[in-house]
C-alpha cells in the first residue's frame, strides 16, 4: 500500500500504538515536573523550508534526497523529523512535542517508514558549557526515569555527533544486550537560529519513540506497532502508575512465530517452441512478480517445476508460494481468497491460462 494512504490522521492513532500512548503518559509526567509545556503539532505535510532550510541543512545533505524523503510536491514533504516544528516552539522556551515522522527506509526489525519522534527545547541564558551540562543531566535523568526499573541500572555514554541545526552535538548511547545502542541526539541550538528568533541560548534534543518503547517492553520487532492482533495489544492494557520512575514494565511476551502456509499454483505459458519458458519468449516471470509483490502476506515465490505439455504443446509452470503474516495467523480460507485474487490478476493482466 502506498505511503499516501497510510499517513496517520493523528500521531499515535493506530490500535498497535497503545504501548506508545501508554509510554507517553509517563513522559508527560516527567516533563510536567520540569515545567515543560507540551506543544501541539499539525499535519505531517510541512514545507521544505520547515523541514530542512530553516534548520540550516546544506543543499546537498543526503537527508534531502528523493530516495530518503517522501516529497508531496516541489514545496512540501512528509516531515522526516519532529525538529521541523522547532521554530514554532521557541517562544514557549521550555517545550516538548511528539509527532509522526516519515522516511523512505527499508523495513526490518528496527526500521519502519512511519515512526514517531519526540523533540524538546530548553532555553537557559547560560554559557555553552553550562547549557551542555544541563542538557546532559536532564537527558540522563530522563533515560534513567524511563528505563531503570525495567532494565536495571542503565549504563550510558555520550558520543560526538553532527546535526546541521545544533553545535556541540552529542548522541546518548546505552549499553543493552552486549552492545552500545544510539538512543537520542541533542546539542546547543545553532547561533543563526538563536539570532533569527532573538532567543536566549538553549539546548534541543530528539528521540525515536518506537525504539525507546521497544526497550521498555522488550518488543523485538518495530512492525508489531502496526499489528491489529489482540495478542499484541492486550498486553499493554494495565494501569499506568505515575511516580518517581516508570515502574517495572511487564516484558512483552512474543506469541509463537506464525506458521508459514504453502500453496502451489500452476499455469500454462503459451510460448511454443521455446526451450525454457522462464527466460525466453513473450512470457516474463518478472511480470508475475510485479503482480505478486502487492500481496503483503506473501513471503516467498519459487518456481517449483516446469515441464513441456506435449498434447497442449505448451509449457506448464508451477509456483510454490509461501504465505506468512508477521503479526497474525493466516486462516486457510484467507489464503485461498488471496490465491483466487492472484489467479484473476494473472489471467486479466497477463492472459495466462491457469491449471
Residues that bind ligand FA5 (CB under 6 A): 81, 83, 103, 105, 111-112, 115, 117, 119, 163, 166, 182, 185-187, 204-206, 208, 210-211, 222
What is the nearest approach in angstroms of ligand FA5 to the Cβ of residue 64? 13
Q: What cell was used for 308?
A: 513441456
Provide the edge-to-edge strand list for the sheet that holds 298-309: 298-309, 314-323, 261-269, 353-354
Task: Please identify, using beta-carbon distances, which residue of 115 and 267 lies nearer to ligand FA5.
Answer: 115
**Smallest separation (angstroms) from ligand FA5 to the CB of 235:** 21
Nearer to ligand FA5, 44 or 187 (CB): 187
Cβ closest to ligand FA5, residue 119 vs residue 327? 119
Q: Which residue has the cell 530553516?
A: 54
Please name the residue that has the C-alpha cell 517452441.
273
Distance CA 10, CA 210 (A): 16
Give min distance, CB of 265 to ligand FA5, in A. Answer: 34
- The C-alpha atoms of residue 173 and residue 206 are separated, in whole angstroms, by 13
CB of residue 111 to ligand FA5, shortest distance in Å: 4
Which residues touch 172 (CB under 8 Å, ≥6 apart)?
A: 139, 140, 143, 156, 157, 158, 182, 183, 184, 185, 186
Provide, rounded to whole angstroms, the least separation between the CB of residue 102 and ligand FA5.
Answer: 9
Q: Using the minimum distance from each CB to ligand FA5, give the nearer residue, 226 or 308.
A: 226
CB of 48 to ligand FA5, least distance (A): 15
Q: Torsions phi, psi of 290, nearest 5?
A: -60, -40
Nearer to ligand FA5, 222 or 292 (CB): 222
Residue for grid cell 523485538: 220
Q: Judged by CB, which is closer to ligand FA5: 64, or 211? A: 211
Q: Specify whether the CB–CB gap between 174 and 180 falls below 8 A.
A: yes
> In this complex, which beta carbon is closest to ligand FA5, that of residue 112 or of residue 315?
112
Q: Is the dihedral of CA 232, 237, 238, 244 positive or negative?
A: positive
What burial class does residue 163 get, using C-beta atoms within 10 Å of its C-beta: 0-12 exposed, 13-18 middle, 19+ buried? Answer: buried
* Beta strand spans in the chain (E): 37-38, 45-47, 76-78, 94-102, 114-123, 156-160, 166-176, 179-189, 202-208, 261-269, 298-309, 314-323, 353-354
- Cα diameter, the chain: 88
Q: Find the shortest distance in angstroms from Cβ 50 to ligand FA5.
A: 12
Closer CB to ligand FA5, 62 or 260, in the complex: 62
The whole-angstrom separation of Cα 120 and Cα 96 is: 4
Amino acid at each position: 500500500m502506498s505511503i499516501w494512504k497510510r499517513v496517520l490522521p493523528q500521531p499515535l492513532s493506530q490500535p498497535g500504538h497503545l504501548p506508545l500512548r501508554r509510554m507517553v503518559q509517563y513522559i508527560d509526567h516527567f516533563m510536567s515536573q520540569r515545567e515543560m509545556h507540551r506543544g501541539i503539532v499539525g499535519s505531517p505535510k510541512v514545507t521544505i523550508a520547515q523541514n530542512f532550510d530553516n534548520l540550516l541543512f546544506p543543499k546537498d545533505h543526503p537527508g534531502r534526497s528523493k530516495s530518503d524523503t517522501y516529497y508531496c510536491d516541489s514545496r512540501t514533504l512528509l516531515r522526516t523529523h519532529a525538529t521541523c516544528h522547532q521554530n514554532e516552539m521557541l517562544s514557549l522556551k521550555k517545550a516538548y512535542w511528539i509527532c509522526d515522522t516519515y522516511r523512505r527506509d527499508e523495513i526490518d526489525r528496527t526500521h519502519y517508514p512511519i515512526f514517531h519522534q519526540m523533540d524538546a527545547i530548553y532555553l537557559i541564558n547560560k554559557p555553552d558549557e553550562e547549557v551542555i551540562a544541563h542538557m546532559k543531566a536532564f537527558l540522563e535523568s530522563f533515560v534513567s526515569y524511563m528505563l531503570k526499573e525495567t532494565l536495571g541500572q542503565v549504563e550510558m555514554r555520550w558520543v560526538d555527533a553532527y546535526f546541521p541545526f545544533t553545535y556541540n552535538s552529542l548522541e546518548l548511547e546505552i549499553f543493552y544486550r552486549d552492545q552500545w545502542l544510539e538512543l537520542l541526539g541533542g546539542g546547543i541550538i545553532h547561533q543563526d537560529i538563536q539570532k533569527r528568533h532573538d532567543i536566549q541560548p538553549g539546548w534541543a534534543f530528539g528521540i525515536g519513540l518506537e525504539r525507546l518503547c521497544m526497550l521498555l517492553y522488550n518488543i523485538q520487532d518495530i512492525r508489531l506497532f502496526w499489528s491489529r492482533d489482540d495478542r499484541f495489544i492486550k498486553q499493554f492494557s494495565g494501569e499506568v502508575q505515575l511516580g518517581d520512575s516508570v515502574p517495572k514494565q511487564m516484558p512483552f511476551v512474543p506469541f509463537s512465530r506464525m506458521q508459514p502456509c504453502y500453496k502451489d499454483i500452476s499455469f500454462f505459458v503459451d510460448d511454443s517452441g521455446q526451450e525454457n519458458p522462464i527466460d525466453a519468449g513473450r512470457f516474463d516471470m518478472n511480470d508475475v512478480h510485479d503482480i505478486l509483490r502487492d500481496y503483503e502476506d506473501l513471503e516467498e515465490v519459487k518456481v517449483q517445476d516446469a515441464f513441456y505439455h506435449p498434447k497442449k504443446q505448451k509449457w506448464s509452470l508451477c509456483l510454490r508460494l509461501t504465505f506468512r503474516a508477521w503479526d497474525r495467523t493466516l486462516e486457510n480460507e484467507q489464503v485461498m481468497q488471496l490465491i483466487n485474487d492472484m489467479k484473476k490478476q494473472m489471467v486479466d493482466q497477463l492472459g495466462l491460462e491457469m491449471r
